[in-house]
Every structure is written in structure tokens, then in C-alpha cells.
Amino acid sequence: SLPVDAIRELSQKHEKPANVHFQYGTAGFRTLGNLLDSVMFRVGILAALRSKRLDGKTIGVMITASHNPEPDNGVKLVDPRGEMLEAAWETHATNLANAPTTDAFIDALDAFVKILRIDLSKPARVDGFKAIGAEARNAGVTTTPVLHYLVKAINTKGTKDAYGDDSEEGYLRKLSTAFKKLVAGKPAIPPLVVDCANGVGAIVGEKLSEKLGDTLKLILHNTAINTAGALNNACGADFVKTSQRLPPSLASVLKPGQRACSLDGDADRLIYYYLDDRGQFHMLDGDKIATLVSTFIVDLTKSAGLEGEIQVGIVQTAYANGGSTKYLSERLPVKCVPTGVKHLHHAAEHYDIGVYFEANGHGTVLFSPETLEKLSSYQPSTPAQSTALNHLINLTQVINQTVGDALSDMLLVEVVLAHKSYSGVEWDSLYVDLPNRLVKVVVPDRSIFKTEDAERRLVSPPGLQAKIDELVRRYDGGRAFVRPSGTEDVVRVYAEASVRSQADELAFRVAGLVY
């Protein structure tokens, strides 16, 4: 049974603040860090119980502000295969976090253990945290994707699916070794400017840079991880994507034509960009990355003689730029799913090779178990096929398949650019982004906004979608949608049109309908 006395004694040191409601969403529990003490304690217990429920498999606990301002902290769990917490447990997590007192928490815990038939005598392994009788290991200060990697590596150790050495060093070695093989024999790669958002990507990026040596020189900027308030402040992937401009700190650094990229605070989002000869800023976001990477992988499957054998598919959300959706759907199967990595990830698992990216730069490529099997047993019949096959196999190593990983995605992009001899300009010209505008609207109650069709249409409040449709019709190339944010207390309005001023106008007029 539950060690009630021990839990009570500890829980009383971490009472829940009154008048706060916690919600486990796509990004875990996320709110001001100073409100999260009770949540951290309870998440430790929850993680231990999840581990016990899964026969002692290792669970990960990540504490991070991600792309948000420094005071906005969060905690999320990583499931044994290195993936996000199973959806059904999001509700359990929310219930436990909101029990108002220690006694109510213990009651809720007791009921939960009984309903889920959790055998408390089972061992529990939770990396990074200590809770009721759980073995814990502190993964230290590292990126979110490294934690996902570690959890999968630990749980697959010694099996035929072994994912890699269960250490940060193992992660770096796996990625850099595959990268070097992929670019061997290609012309020297020009140095890459990396904006680390003053977050933990600076630490892991530095170590990666050492491993890469001369193969790819990383020029790291915004590495002030100990400066209060610097995290994601006027830098980082979210700043670049949202404001559609260069981080001011790079203005004197970046030369025309030079590639640069921004990570977010925990290094699971990536946005590229460059300045053209006139000094104009060009952004290469998650949609551009998906396009670059998927067309490259399709080419490789053809060159390997595996066309028709292995199907590549794309997963996007409603935020994907219409230009990318048009370009991609003329070439590949494309599926649109609701916002949230879990939706993208699961949809991508249905393809032989599933490429998913959110426009904000979070994404990865998944190779199904059957595809991995096919790649390892396939007998190429020409040297060219053999080369392409090896590239595909090395791609499965350079890509972090557990979750979107900025550093892994960065290496992937660099591989494709090196193979295609592309600079930012050629990459950017694959398709033209439609001008777009994203605005937030603060409303009294965002729960009245309900959507369908992968969040592209509103079903409630009644009548609002018809008004939006009517407005959109008046704009050339117009598209707009409204949805409640899952992470902030706002409603988001997105609009596109064939010219900038029209996209802005459409967004603000739709926002006007939402108030």
C-alpha cells in the first residue's frame, strides 16, 4: 500500500497554493515557476507510479521554460520509448496536481493507484527526480531532446532495438558520427552561426561543436546561460518565428548570404535564416525544413531503388504556411492534425517515413520499425543504390526519432544543404511563403471556442465561422482560422493572404470578430 505517512510529511512541505488551477497540456505543467513547488513534488510521485505501472521502466522528468520567458517554467514527463506522456495520464496528472490539500492529495493518489491497479511493489526508475521508493538518476542540466534520448536508450539497452549509449556523450557521439559519414567527400561546409537563446543548447551545442571539429564549425551566440532574464529574450527560435526578424544581437555578426539558426531555450525548436545581398531578412521555418528534408529523403529512396517500397509522408498543422502545403501536397501525402506534438508524432507513425514539423520549428522524422528492417536487409544492385541506402541508414542515426531536436535537426539540414550544394537562397526558393500574421486575442472565456477539421474551423461560438468565411472570401489567397491556445489564456488568430498588407488586415479584422 501507499507509504501514507512519508508522503504526508513530505507533501506538507509542498502544499498547493490556493486559487491556482494546474493543467497538464501539450507542454506539461506550465506556469510561473514560483507557483510550481507542489506540482514538482506531485509530479515526482506521479512519475514513480507511471514507472511502477510499466514494470519499472525508466520515466523522464524535464524541468524547463522551453521557448517562454524565464519566469514561465514547466515540468513534463517522458514515457519509456522517449515519447511524450500518454494522453490518458495527462488527465490523471491534472487531477492529482489540483487536489487542494495534502489529505485530498493522498485520497486522490489512493483512488488512482486502485483504479489503475498499480502494483506498488514494482520497482520504479525515474530519471532526474526522487519520489516514493523510486531509483532516481540526475541527468543534469541538458536539453529536452537529450532527456528523451536518454530515456529511450536506458529502456532499450541490451535489446535488438538498442538506441545508443545511455549518456549525453553517447548522444553526441551517435549524432556526430552519423553526420560525418553523411558529409564525407562533400565540399567543405561554411561555418554556421547558432543563436542558443541563452539556454541549455549553449552547453550541449558547445560539446557537439567539439565533436564535429572541422566538419562543421558552429559559431555559438547568445550563450549567457547564467544571466538572469536573458533566456529567450530578444533571441531564440520563438522570437525569430513570432517577430519574423533577426535577433538584434546577431545584427553585427551575420554577413549577407551566411546561414544562421536559432534554437529555443531547451533546444527542441529550430529556425534557420539568412540576410540577402540587400540585407533583407529571410526566414526558413519548420515548414521550409520539412520541405527540404522530405524531398531529400524521397530522392534517396528513389536512388536506392526503394521507390514504391517506402512511402514518405508529411504531417503539418493549420499553422503550416499555405505555400508549403501546396508545394508538398503536389508531391507527397500530407496530413493536417491539431496543434500539439503528440498529434503530429502519432500521425507521422502511420507512414513508412513520416516527416513532421510545426511551423515554429519543432519536428523530426520517424522511420517505422518495418522501414528500419527493410533498410537493414535490402540488397542494393548497383553502387549508386548502395550509396543512397547507406545515406538513408545514416540519416536514421543523425535524426533524434524520439522528439523534435534542434541540434539533431540542424545537422540534418546541414547534410541536405551539403548534398544539394544549396545556400539559404536556393533552399528558400523551393516555394514562396505566403505573407501571414498571427495575433493573440484576450477573451473573457476561451473555453467557448471549439474547433473541428484539425482546428481549421470553429463550431462554437455559433455563427462566428460563417462570418470568418465571409471575410476570408474578400481576400486574394486568403485563409484564416481561430482557435483557443492550449498553453496560454488567449485565443489565436492566424491569417494568410497573397500580399503582406492584406494578411495583416485580414488577421486584425478576424480578431475584431472574436472580441
**Site residues for Zn ion per CB under 5 A:** 66-67, 264, 266, 268
Annotated binding residue 294? no
Cell of 387: 550509396
Rounded CA Rg of the chain: 23
Q: Cα(249)–Cα(369) distance, rounded to whole angstroms?
A: 43
Q: Cα(290)–Cα(358) distance, rounded to whole angstroms?
A: 9
Q: Cα(172)–Cα(479) distance, rounded to whole angstroms?
A: 42
Q: Which is nearer to ligand NG1, 316 or 487 (CB)?
A: 487
The upper half-sphere exposure of residue 217, i.e. CA atoms within 13 Å in the direction of its Cβ, equals 7
Question: Shortest gap between Cβ of 56 and ligand NG1 (angstroms)?
Answer: 30
Closest by Cα among 428, 431, 478 to 324:
431
Chosen from Zn ion, ligand NG1, none, partner binding at 287 (C-beta under 5 to 8 Å by type): none
- State the DSSP code for 137: E
User: How, if at all, do strands 260-263 and 218-221 pair?
Assistant: unpaired
Q: Cα(314)–Cα(356) distance, rounded to whole angstroms?
A: 6
Annotated binding residue 190? no
Question: Shortest gap between Cβ of 411 and ligand NG1 (angstroms)?
Answer: 21
Helix (H, G, I), strand (E, B) or coil at 274: strand
Chosen from Zn ion, ligand NG1, none, partner binding at 386 (C-beta under 5 to 8 Å by type): none
66 is catalytic: yes
Q: Cα(299)–Cα(125) distance, rounded to whole angstroms?
A: 42
Q: Which is nearer to Zn ion, 67 or 437 (CB)?
A: 67
Question: Shortest gap between Cβ of 146 and Zn ion (angstroms)?
Answer: 12
Annotated binding residue 359? yes
Chosen from ligand NG1, Zn ion, none, partner binding at 488 (C-beta under 5 to 8 Å by type): ligand NG1
Annotated binding residue 201? no
- State the DSSP code for 379: -
Chosen from Zn ion, ligand NG1, none, partner binding at 349 (C-beta under 5 to 8 Å by type): none
Question: Shortest gap between Cβ of 207 and Zn ion (angstroms)?
Answer: 19
Q: Cα(382)–Cα(380) distance, rounded to whole angstroms?
A: 6
Residues in contact with ligand NG1 by CB under 6 A are 26-27, 319, 339, 358, 360, 362, 485-488, 492
Annotated binding residue 485? yes
The one catalytic residue in 11, 38, 51, 66 is 66
Question: Shortest gap between Cβ of 338 and ligand NG1 (angstroms)?
Answer: 9
The residue assigned the cell 554577413 is 255
Chosen from Zn ion, ligand NG1, none, partner binding at 68 (C-beta under 5 to 8 Å by type): none
Residues pairing with 32 in the sheet: 72
Annotated binding residue 484? yes
CB atoms within 10 A of CB 501: 9
Q: Which is nearer to ligand NG1, 358 or 433 (CB)?
A: 358
Q: Which is nearer to Zn ion, 201 or 313 (CB)?
A: 201
Catalytic residues: 66
Bind-site residues for Mg(2+) = 66, 264, 266, 268
Bind-site residues = 66, 264, 266, 268, 358-360, 483-487, 492
